[in-house]
Amino acid sequence: MVVPVIAALGRAQPPSADQGELWEGFFAERFAGPQRTFAQRIFANSGVTRRCAAVSPLIEDVSDWPTSRRMQRYMVEAVPLGKDAVSRALASAGLRADEIGMFIVCSCTGYATPGLDLILARDLGMAPDTQRLFIGHMGCYAALPGLRAAADYVRVHQRPAVLLCAEITSLHIQPFGARMTAEQIVSHALFSDAAVAVVCTPGGTGYAVQSVESLTDASTADYMTWDLTDTGFRMSLSVKVPDVLAENVRHLVMPTLAGHGITDVRHVDGWAVHPGGPRILTVVEQQLSLPPNALTPSRRTLADDGNCSSATVLLVLDRLMRSPQPMRQVAMLAFGPGLTLYSANLASTS
């Protein structure tokens, strides 16, 4: 049977800025009184040191832009970023764009028709018969169902597939004032921009996609939302999200590991966990009884890159794959609206 393998990753990010610089240079003056004190504490405790922004608030303030203008800018920024990420991944895998059988794009930060998938397929020189799939509005966990779709295509058609996660969160800074909620302040302190592409091939050297599983607690669907408004997309994030993860993460991860003969989390060599925030990582660490430093790659990704929505877990995986330490078994975890938890198990083929 054909084994789908992650053969290469490619990442592309716009210029970054220091978290303190973003606070002092833009956000601080948008708050007053107790709200400013609260917001400053959120920024300081976010776990983020630097963030990337295609639309930097230090250069231009988009907080009052209408959604139509933001969507036009989304394509201006996302196309070159996505093209760069895919080109890097293809070069690393030693493949041409016209050899790709399926192209999957995940994004929850912008929409257009013709979409990012079609424009990039055309500009990169993919073949006319390349199948395309756009996965929208799934949020931070979208990379894993995207990976599942890519792996299934490779398994059935025995042709390479490419997955791209491209997010321009910097376009969705909300209007400031009394209506600014605590949840929106948290999102302004965490989110960042990035594009990461994955090349999945039939066999070869890399990481075999063994399984992708999910679990959804639909009773908490309103705990995390990404609402379309006249001024961009507005994030709502309940403080109860880590509690829901605490209740569910073992129920997803442990049976999945056991299905691959892994009964002890210490036998997993690398953990690529979506760093939705510091508390989320602490909850996962505690509930799974992970070894010390198991989530260091996730914490470093949060610090260096911020939360880039769907692209983030792939940034963590890229960090793991670049590690000089051999990784035989890798577990991936990502969380998002639903509340939905996704996991993937990877095994080295080398």
Active site residues: 140
Name the token pair of 63: 């907080």
Exposure class string for 132-148: b at 16+ Cβ within 10 A, else e? ebbbbebbbbbbbbbbb
Total count of residues recorded for the chain? 350
In angstroms, rounded to a whole number, what is the distance separating the alpha carbons of residues 42 and 186? 6
Q: Which residues contact 244 (CB under 8 A, 6 or more apart)?
A: 217, 220, 223, 339
C-beta of residue 343 within 8 angstroms of C-beta of residue 212: yes
Q: How far apart are the first and last CA of the chain?
A: 18
Where would I find the H helices in 273-341? Answer: 278-287, 296-305, 312-321
Name the token pair of 156: 């059935």
Distances (CA, A) of 241 to 3, 141, 145, 212: 35, 14, 21, 22
Amino acid at 216: T
Sign of CA dihedral 291, 295, 299, 304: positive
In angstroms, rounded to a whole number, what is the distance separating the alpha carbons of residues 123 and 78? 13
In angstroms, rounded to a whole number, what is the distance separating the alpha carbons of residues 345 and 234? 32
